[in-house]
Amino acid sequence: MFDNDTVSRVFVKTYYLFLFICLQASFAQTPVDVDTFKQQRQIQGNLFLSKSTEFYRDGNYKACIEKLNEFLFLFPGHPATLKALKLLSASLKKNDQIEESIKTDLLVYRENPTTEDGLISYLEAGKKMLIVGKTKEGKKILEHVKNQLYSSKIAKDAEIELKQNSILEEDGFQIKEEMMKE
């Protein structure tokens, strides 16, 4: 019925199919491997963030910015991303990169529009816009924060900032000069 050549080809094909299935099963990640990988990734990200914080405390803002950018690139979706973005914004401001700091604050707000952290970042973006002379945009942001319903404390801070701005404008002071002294 079957000759030896046909039987041997079927046997070889079956053997290779079995071997392929076994190898594929052995290389498949188990849930334990995935959990271990996630834990190691989180630990490594925390080390990057810790080093960035150390650079910030030492006043080495440029190194802090570089380390935070590496963190954001290497560890997207890390649980400490919000903390890293807030530290990045502060470092950029200290390093006189106000425009970049504003962009970072706006990113934090876009990702967290109804949280206290997001609103604080939006408030800070408005203040910084006043510093760089983008008065119209800054006031618009401060008005938005003032009128939001998520945090009355942050709304009050925005209202105070708007009042201070109007007093400074009435007295003829340059907002940028006053804010830069801080």
Q: DSSP state, 30?
A: P
Residue 161: which of 172, 169, 151 has the closest Cα? 169
Q: What pLDDT digit, counting tens, does each position of 5-26 carry?
A: 665 665 666 666 565 665 565 5
Cα(71)–Cα(57) distance, integer angstroms: 18
Q: What pLDDT digit, counting tens, does each position of 23-77 carry?
A: 565 565 555 567 777 888 888 999 989 999 999 999 999 999 999 999 999 999 9
Cα(32)–Cα(38) distance, integer angstroms: 10
DSSP helix/strand/coil, 141: helix
pLDDT, position 148 = 78
Give mean pLDDT, residues 133-148.
82
pLDDT, position 143 = 81
As given in the structure block, the two tokens for residue 19 are: 């071997």
Cα(84)–Cα(47) distance, integer angstroms: 12
